[in-house]
Amino acid sequence: MEARDAKAATGAPRRMDPARPLVAARPRYGEKVIQGLLAACAVISVITTTVIVISLLSPTLDFFGEASLGKFFSLDEWAPTQADPTFGALRLVIGTMSATLWALLFAIPIGLLSAIYLSEYAPPRVRKTVKPILEVLAGIPTVALGLFAITFISPQIQDIFPDAVKSPPFFVLAAGLGIGLLIVPIIASLSDDAMRAVPGSLREGAYALGADKLKVSTKVVFPAAISGIVASIVLAASRAVGETMIVLLAAGANPNASFNPFESVLTMTASIARVATGDIGTNTITYNTIFAVGALLFVMTLAMNAVAIRLVRRFREVYE
């Protein structure tokens, strides 16, 4: 015993004595404090979410006390700040869906092809430089992307399709492409991670059977990573749904229920921003409108994120 204690005192490595309890001899209060702090940090985000839901809930309930749910989900005019207000929020949902649709149509092919290149084709050195640059794209302030959409993308498209744009310079396609630029890195980066997580043995097996690189990438790796890829797309879509500044600047503010890429639309986020920055009295129905739309937006993105998390989980189960 004495010899072993002496050894321990000198700090030399030793085997764990199974009989010795795993509890520290003296209570470590510092450890407890740190544990508490870490837990508090984790709890803060949970509390924030809860508080947001609660703060949305009460004005939303007030709103539906005055306006009917059926009218809210209808194609009535969206005119919350007019003298005789009407609230056809379905028009905003369609506007949001239209902007998201064009963003995804642009971002999915570019994002996925970049991911395939980065994970399967690019030499490690290229990948090391290209991937961070791609991720920087996600860090561009959205107001800058919005200005880019209205001052560059919009006139370019008007040159290609003269007379197609109904009320220049605002149309949903310009905003959609701006959002597309924003979400390309999300799709590319997360899909790249998903594809690189596919075990090498699958690739080797395919090569052994005589498949070439293209076949391995598209027929083996891509399907194996599909749930991770779909999750990246769903995450990108919920980012696009929630994007505000680009649509506020470039999509116009015309609540028409249309998927025409050359018409201007009003999205849910842009309508909140527009109504909220004006002069509205608190607790009026106009004021409560923005919370009702906010709650709807919250539910939509929550549902999409829940789907994404599910897909990620399924993806994990495959190889662990």
The answer to whether 240 and 268 are in contact (CB under 8 A) is no
Phi-psi region of 252 (alpha: psi -120 to 50; beta: other; left: phi over 0): left
**Comparison of 130 and 280: residue with beta carbon closer to other proteins:** 280
Of residues 2-61, those binding other proteins (CB under 8 A): none
Question: Of 5, 84, 159, 212, which lies in the binding site for other proteins, with binding defined by CB under 8 A?
Answer: 84
Question: Of 146, 180, 255, 261, which lies in the binding site for other proteins, with binding defined by CB under 8 A?
Answer: 255
**Comparison of 255 and 261: residue with beta carbon closer to other proteins:** 255
Asked if 244 interacts with other proteins (CB under 8 A), we say no
H helices of 73-171, in order, are 90-116, 124-137, 142-148, 154-160
Q: Rounded CA gap, 179 and 237, in Å?
A: 10
**Comparison of 244 and 264: residue with beta carbon closer to other proteins:** 264
Q: Pick from 266, 248, 247: which is nearest to 256 by CA? A: 266
Asked if 62 interacts with other proteins (CB under 8 A), we say no
Give the Cβ contact number of residue 211 at 10 Å: 16
The answer to whether 184 and 114 are in contact (CB under 8 A) is yes
Q: What's the farthest any 2 CA atoms get from each other in the chain? A: 94
Question: Of 111, 252, 261, 294, which lies in the binding site for other proteins, with binding defined by CB under 8 A?
Answer: 252
Asked if 218 interacts with other proteins (CB under 8 A), we say no
Closest distance of CB 252 from other proteins, Å: 5
Specify burial of residue 90 (Cβ count, 10 A radius: 0-12, 13-18, 19+): middle
**Comparison of 60 and 256: residue with beta carbon closer to other proteins:** 256
Options 11-19, 141-149, 177-185, 247-255: segment touching other proteins (CB under 8 A): 247-255
| Tokens describing residue 284 | 């009026």
The answer to whether 191 and 232 are in contact (CB under 8 A) is yes
Options 96-104, 157-165, 182-190, 227-235: segment touching other proteins (CB under 8 A): 157-165
What does the DSSP 8-state code read for residue 262? T
Q: Sort strands 78-79 and 86-87 into parallel, antiparallel or unpaired.
A: antiparallel
Asked if 90 interacts with other proteins (CB under 8 A), we say no
Cα dist. 45→36, 38, 41, 84 in Å? 15, 12, 7, 40
Closest distance of CB 122 from other proteins, Å: 42
Asked if 178 interacts with other proteins (CB under 8 A), we say no
Options 43-51, 64-72, 248-256, 295-303: segment touching other proteins (CB under 8 A): 248-256
Asked if 77 interacts with other proteins (CB under 8 A), we say yes
Asked if 158 interacts with other proteins (CB under 8 A), we say yes
Residues binding other proteins: what is the number (CB under 8 A)? 25
- Judged by the rule CB under 8 A, the positions of this chain that interact with other proteins are 77-79, 81-84, 158, 163, 165-170, 252-256, 264, 266, 274, 278-279
